[in-house]
Amino acid sequence: MRLKSFKQQLQEHLLDLLWRQWCAIGVYGDLLPARRLVIDPETLLLMTCSLGRLEPRMFDEALDWLAVNGNFINTQRLATLLKQHPFTGQETLTAIAAYLNTQDKSAKWRSLSQATTVSQKEPLFQRKDGRKMASFGEVDPVFAAYGFLRGKVVLRRHSQVFDPVRSTCFLLKLRAFCGVNARAETCLYLSTHPRGAHPSLIARESGYYQKTIQDVLVNMTKSGLVRCREAGREKIYSIREELVESLQLGTNGTPQWMTWPPVLVFLASVYFKLDEPGFFELDPLVQSTELRKLTKSTRKALDAAGFIDLTDIEAHHRADAFLTRFSKAVLSMLKKLK
């Protein structure tokens, strides 16, 4: 019963987190994050492709936002994140990309959509108890072609362009200024890490290939606004304080970095593990073993993101005690993220 309650709370907190992030970047609503963690729009979209099927209104509001702000989404980075992290919902992303192709005359979303149709179809949306939600009215032809049955998409056009004053929108602000490319993420990382960083670290935490970040940094040093110093065999790059102040001009508060992909993938993987048929009937020892595996596989990323309290319990405690401590740690982690 405790695990069932944990699953329900985890679902509520995850959906609430996604809602807050969408509202923060322009979706109609006033449910905003309390913290200044900079939102990663690609990770937010990928998580919505997985968990947004439990919340149809949020799913369609996300589509509405993409129709207005889609030019600020980096589709190349989306594809890279899918290769680097075990996101679920890739088929849903393909259908979304196909739909956005009908709204955007450019070829931006074409690379993420597939030309082949799917003969076997299933309802797109699910109830929060896991049951499939039947579609009503006219079926949307684009989603149906990609295997998903849902009512015809009708955009409300209530979404706004992101607010550059909000610290949570700092990456989008940089993309509007620097372009939708690795330069924006590099500026974000350096401006939130005053001591600087090695290109491989920036690449790993931002979702780009190391050579891409290396080339960006080499070019940026030629401006005199980014410095490079030797630290043993490594080169550490940092950004001038004056430039940081200029980039953050007009921003409400100091933006804070969060490596969202591995953190949210971990949380989603916990939810989907709990959602597996028969998981609640397993012996507590088997349950704890399965959840320990999820923590172990992302331990470094969770430690780097500051969730040491979660990874500290991974190797300790008997099954029942572990399950109790694990549940509390995950819920505490979600509260910190919001």
Which whole number is the average pLDDT over 98-106? 88
Distance, in Å, from the CA atom of 203 to the CA atom of 221, rounded to the nearest integer, reads: 17
Cα–Cα distance, 167 to 210 (Å, whole number): 27
User: Is 316 part of any domain?
Assistant: no
30 — pLDDT class (breaks 50, 70, 90): confident
Q: Evaluate whether residue 290 is within a structural domain.
A: no
Could you tell me if residue 192 is inside a domain?
yes
- Cα 319 from Cα 285, distance rounded (Å): 5
Report yes or no: 10 and 267 within 8 Å, Cβ to Cβ.
yes
Is residue 186 one of the residues assigned to a domain? yes
User: How many domains in the chain?
Assistant: 1
Please determine, for residue 114, whether its predicted confidence score (pLDDT) is greater than 90: no
CA–CA dist 313, 300 (Å, integer): 14
**Is residue 35 one of the residues assigned to a domain?**
no
Residues 6+ apart with CB under 8 A from 22: 29, 44, 48, 58, 61, 62, 65
- 21: in domain: no
Nearest in space to 28 (alpha carbons), one of 155, 160, 131: 160
> What pLDDT, on the 0 to 100 scale, is given for residue 41?
98
Query: Which structural domain range is residue 197 located in?
Result: 171-247
302 belongs to a structural domain: no
Read off the pTM: 0.94
312 inside domain:
no
Question: Which of 76-80, 119-123, 301-305 is the least confident region?
Answer: 301-305
> Domain of 212: which CATH number?
1.10.10.10
In this structure, of 133-147, 180-194, 254-268, the range with the lowest mean pLDDT score is 133-147
